[in-house]
Chain A
Amino acid sequence: MWRHIKTATILYLVLTVLTGVLYPLVVTAIAQIAMPAQANGSLIERGGRPVGSTLIGQAFTGPGYFWSRPSATGPMPYNAAASSGSNLGPTNPALEAAVRERIAALRAADPGNLSPVPVDLVTSSGSGLDPHISPAAAEFQADRVALARGMDPARVRALVGEYTDGRTFGLLGEPRVRVLELNLALDAAAGAP
């Protein structure tokens, strides 16, 4: 057994250098040289300051912004240093209560809107950082945003279309709207609300 332990220790050290040091260092070096934007978090800048990542959502509560999906991270939503889902089970009464509360908030911000609420807009995402909403969830909010900003609804919908990604290769994944970038574009188009 002692002989095995000795061989095991030597091999463990050698493989640690290979897989735990050289491998991540080489990958990092190539990534940082060839793809620095992606490797460092796909940051978005506005006026020379970073205002988020194209891949990480932020919380929005004003009527003039498109709202992101509910987030279950703590202590605040969209805490990108503590990703988390709600882990609420399908029969947990707290799930139904939370959904009813979110529907009420959406209705209160947009009293004239009688269409049913798309499910992704009232359910929390797996990461709590989902940067996307469904096109249905964007359409649900388009008139509210236009009204709050005094913008032409057609102009708002055109911007939504601009920030909508289709399925990759027309097949993979789901169509989705990039909320943070869309809201930044709205600010740029019409000034902050």
Chain B
Amino acid sequence: MGGFLLPGLSTGWTSWLQIALYLLVLLAAAVPLGNYMARVLEGQPHLLSRAFGRLERSIYRVAGVREDDQMGWKAYALALLAFSLVGTLAVYGLQRLQGALPLNPAAMGAVPPGLAFNTAISFVSNTNWQAYSGEATMSYLTQMLGLTVQNFVSAASGIAVLVALIRGFRARQAAALGSFWVDLVRSTLYILLPFSAILALVLVASGVVQTFKPYRVVDLVEPTAIDQPVLDAAGAPVLDAAGEPVTESVPLTTQTLALGPAASQIAIKQLGTNGGGFFNANAAHPLENPSPWSNFLEMLALLLLPAALCVTFGRMVGDLRQAWALLATMTLLFVALLLPAVAAEQAGNPRLAATGVDDVAGSMQAGGNMEGKETRFGVANSALWATATTAASNGSVNAMHDSFTPIGGAVPLFLMLLGEVVFGGVGSGLYGLLIFAILAVFVAGLMVGRTPEYLGKKIEAYEMKMASLVILVPPIVVLGSTALALSTSAGRAAVFNPGAHGFSEVLYAFASMANNNGSAFGGLGANAPFYNTLGGIGMFIGRFAIMVPVLAIAGSLAAKKSIPVGAGTLPTHTPLFVTLLISTVLIVGALTFIPALALGPIVEHLLLWGIGQ
């Protein structure tokens, strides 16, 4: 276990410098962006209101929406659900009908019903779990009209719910949470669209494809031959005397390059914490993430809006100190989990080292655990991405998590299990962490025997009931589904890797779906009726059984009067509160999931390094 006990020493200084630079740029960019978003969401004049204000108002006119409408929490929730229902039907319909629709140069047929159901819920719930391979399943039209649209509006819905909760804290005995429609349109038009367009073009410049031309066939530099099964006239494989399929050698002289309008979708998939890849290999695919520079930008986009929304929150409640406390909580949790991930991946795989392979980092190679990783990213950028994509509920990957070391894979798994509140999804991460903040002040209130309050609002029985729902529903879905999968043959049939790692694959799948992340231990054969159905339901619950109670809390808080800060008020912007909040998140997560983690990554780590044998 030697290498693993001395993590930093075996990793080059460039690894740590890249990570430090990433965090620095992220936090520096979050401040101006957060200020801008506050102006947009408050309906104040801003950078783009002159250019797009007329468009915004004509959208309201066409849809019959009043810009100054004030919804109660139930109306807000119903609008959200109605919009999500329409989106689900649209994405489902497009997939089923794509064979008969235009912009389908690769002649993709209809997506089967179970997979289409799973994918529709997946993209509407901002999960982007993909039980399909993009380049082999979806037409260009489906990718654009179905999936790209959901990338935008599911993220905008997350921002809307967050803004409603903020208005709940701010309102003085009123039912006013704003209008879901207005929040949805503003988030899309002024935040997601312009930043996506800029990012998409920068990505094209670095090599990401953006074309409607069909897949391109090119000559191979070294023609070769492959063994293919011989098929009879009916298309069934021919068997030899021993019952084995007969193969023949077929010359192979060309390579087919899958292309498509990828950059436009990748930009929003990163910014909107969606994560659904255009290609099967997601951001590991060189045409989706060609260089260290594109990788840096895509990783930055991944956490940018969740981090900036903390600043937006501080602006909107009129107390930036609250924002710094939440941002500090997220950053500290992030760094604490990032370090073991990088160290474990850099330590490599002792079973491969035993074969005589050289996996020591140096000036000539990144070394470490390179299975499932790309040379241009090496270990540091793969582990950083894995941590960021699961801290946020993004779920895009630039390396295959299934092939990570046990600890390297446990970090993304644990970040999802914490409920996607370390930065988290766009909007959803911050409202999730605010629910934990409510729990933290409640726990503190119990300790000193005072009614807890947060941002001037008393936290009472109703808020605590709703907060408990938000915190308990995902673990129930994750652990319940995992148990069900492991106790049925349909659930076990999809497992790819043997032993403890196979258990991790199943736990990871449901952690990902119920927390709306979307990344996977990809070996799991998830495109099966069992996982498509159970996972689809889990993604739906993980999204909307959280959003509705959050809106209920917003409604209840809005109706309360705001009480002034008194001698007995627990300040919620101090290092003490940050510590309390971090402890609350970690303790809830650890108490719920340590037993499950012990069966998966922890035991696998002990086996891999031969500890205790």
Give A contacts to B, CB under 8 Å: 1, 4-12, 14-16, 18-21, 23-24, 26-28, 30-32, 35, 38-43, 49-62, 65, 69, 75-76, 78-93, 95-96, 99-100, 103, 115-120, 122-137, 139, 167-168, 171-176, 180, 183-184, 187
How many whole Å from B229's CB to the nearest CB in chain A? 9
Decide if B133 is an interface residue (CB 8 Å cutoff). yes
As a 0/1 sequence over residues 4 to 24 of chain B, the CB contacts with chain A under 8 angstroms (1 = contact) are 000000000010011001000
Which residues 391-426 in B have Cβ within 8 Å of A in the complex? 397-400, 402-406
Chain A residue at minimal CB-CB distance from B408: A90
- Identify the stretch in B40-48, B189-197, B311-319, B470-478 within 8 Å (CB) of chain A at 4 or more residues: B189-197
Question: Is A51 a contact of B286 with CB atoms below 8 Å?
Answer: no
Chain A residue at minimal CB-CB distance from B65: A7
A38-B205, A167-B14 are known contacts. Are A127 and B286 too (CB-CB below 8 A)?
yes
Given contacts A10-B64, A82-B135, 7 further A-B contacts (CB under 8 A): A11-B63, A27-B200, A91-B498, A99-B357, A119-B370, A167-B14, A174-B377
Residues of A within 8 A of B258 (CB): 80-83
Q: Which of the residues A19, A59, A117, A132 comes within 8 Å of B376, measured between beta carbons? A: A132
CA distance A118 to B608 in the complex (A): 21
Give B contacts to A, CB under 8 Å: 14, 17-18, 21, 59, 62-65, 78-79, 81-83, 85-87, 90, 133, 135-136, 144-146, 148-149, 151-153, 181, 184-185, 188-189, 192-193, 196-197, 200-201, 204-213, 215-216, 218-222, 224, 226, 228, 252, 255-259, 261, 263-265, 268, 279-281, 284-287, 290-293, 295-296, 348-349, 351-352, 355-359, 362-378, 381-382, 397-400, 402-406, 496-502, 504, 521-523, 604, 607-608
Q: Which of the residues A24, A86, A128, A136 comes within 8 Å of B365, measured between beta carbons? A: A136
Residues of B within 8 A of A176 (CB): 375-376
CA distance A89 to B401 in the complex (A): 9
Question: Is A134 a contact of B65 with CB atoms below 8 Å?
Answer: no
Question: Is A50 a contact of B218 with CB atoms below 8 Å?
Answer: yes
Question: Is B209 a contact of A41 with CB atoms below 8 Å?
Answer: yes
A20-B145, A38-B208 are known contacts. Are A87 and B281 too (CB-CB below 8 A)?
no
Question: Is B79 a contact of A85 with CB atoms below 8 Å?
Answer: no
A4-B78, A58-B222, A119-B358 are known contacts. Are A135 and B205 too (CB-CB below 8 A)?
no
Q: Which of the residues A40, A49, A89 comes within 8 Å of B211, measured between beta carbons? A: A40
Question: Is A18 a contact of B375 with CB atoms below 8 Å?
Answer: no
Question: Is B400 a contact of A126 with CB atoms below 8 Å?
Answer: yes
CA distance A130 to B258 in the complex (A): 15
How many whole Å from A171's CB to the nearest CB in chain B? 6
Question: Is B148 a contact of A20 with CB atoms below 8 Å?
Answer: yes
Q: Which of the residues A38, A55, A89 comes within 8 Å of B204, measured between beta carbons? A: A38
Chain A residue at minimal CB-CB distance from B75: A4
Residues of A within 8 A of B221 (CB): 51-52, 58, 60, 65, 180, 183-184, 187
Q: Which of the residues B83, B197, B255, B522 comes within 8 Å of A56, measured between beta carbons? A: B255
Residues of A within 8 A of B403 (CB): 85-90, 95
Interface centre among A10, A54, A91 (most CB of B within 10 A): A91
Sample of 15 A–B contacts (CB below 8 Å): A5-B85, A8-B86, A11-B63, A18-B189, A28-B212, A35-B204, A40-B211, A59-B220, A89-B521, A90-B608, A96-B355, A135-B363, A173-B295, A174-B366, A176-B376
Q: Which of the residues A5, A116, A124 comes within 8 Å of B371, measured between beta carbons? A: A124
Residues of B within 8 A of A55 (CB): 207, 286-287, 290
A124-B372, A172-B295 are known contacts. Are A83 and B86 too (CB-CB below 8 A)?
no
The 8 closest A-B pairs by CB, nearest first: A173-B292, A126-B284, A87-B523, A85-B400, A83-B281, A174-B378, A89-B501, A136-B364
Residues of B within 8 A of A18 (CB): 188-189, 193
